[in-house]
Amino acid sequence: MSTTVSLQIVKQKLIESLEQVQRQLAALVQSLPDSLDEFSVAEKWVRDGVLKIGHDLLQGWTDSANARTATPECPACQELMRHKGYVSGTVVTTLGSLRLRRPRFRCEYCGDECYPHDAGLRFRGHAVSWPLAQVIGRLGAQMPFAQARENLLADYSVGLSKQTMQAICEDAGAALVRSEDEERRRLQSLPVKDRLAAFPDSELSPEKAYVFGDGAMIHAAGDWHEIRVASVLAADAEDETLAVDHRARFLSCEDFGWQLLLLARSVGYHRANTDRSLK
């Protein structure tokens, strides 16, 4: 099947999905109450109905989207892998669970398998989408995982186990820590004269920026350790917060100083207004 014919089939299926969406919207309109006194009922029905339509539309797109991809090379053997058909599975999204078929490739030499689309479909190997992982990360950072699970179910009608949400948050946190440590070590390894030009910039130009560092002794892994806490905040001329970030790490004083510096750069501390004579 040529690429042109394949694209025509995809578009036709999506058009058919839009026709189904129109029927669903019409049915939703017919189900709404007539009185303004029932506003709360109408709001819930519209929200639930539109989310259901969104789920069905995304499922229709997933069913018809072109799953072809370039043949990957085995990372270990540096040989092209063989296409081994399609594997059916599910991925949980902010709109609920979706069915999908993704191509599988296998190395004929070492037997390793690869699903090229998983990098974009699934968050770090978990059967959840990247947008849902972002929601889980925010909830998990703000409250205990059991409560985060309840809020996810209440707000998104998505049910996941506490253990799954914890694993996703811990994987995301570990990846962030690794990335930050690699960047810090890269900058530390540069000659002093080259560091300033290599520092990360920021899109923010705040009126004010605050940097805070502190430490505390905590008991962990059978001994006492000093954990160091870094906080940064950027605000505009009306004292509205533009950005805020925090880190709590077991780092040496030197590494913690670099952590604080990089966090400050990320919120535009170096761009903050320092000319107070204008006020």
Domain boundary assignment for the chain: 3-64, 201-278
Strands (E), 94-240: 96-106, 113-114, 208-220, 223-235
pTM score, two decimals?
A: 0.80
List pLDDT tens digits, range 123-181.
999 999 999 999 999 999 999 999 999 999 999 999 999 999 999 999 999 999 999 99
pLDDT at 16 exceeding the cut of 50: yes
Degrees to nearest 5, angle at CA 127 with 165 and 94: 70
Distance CA 43, CA 248 (A): 41
List pLDDT tens digits, range 78-135.
999 999 999 999 999 999 999 999 999 999 999 999 999 999 999 999 999 999 999 9
Residue 277 C-alpha from the chain's centroid: 42
Residues near 127 by Cβ (< 8 Å), separated by ≥ 6?
A: 89, 90, 91, 92
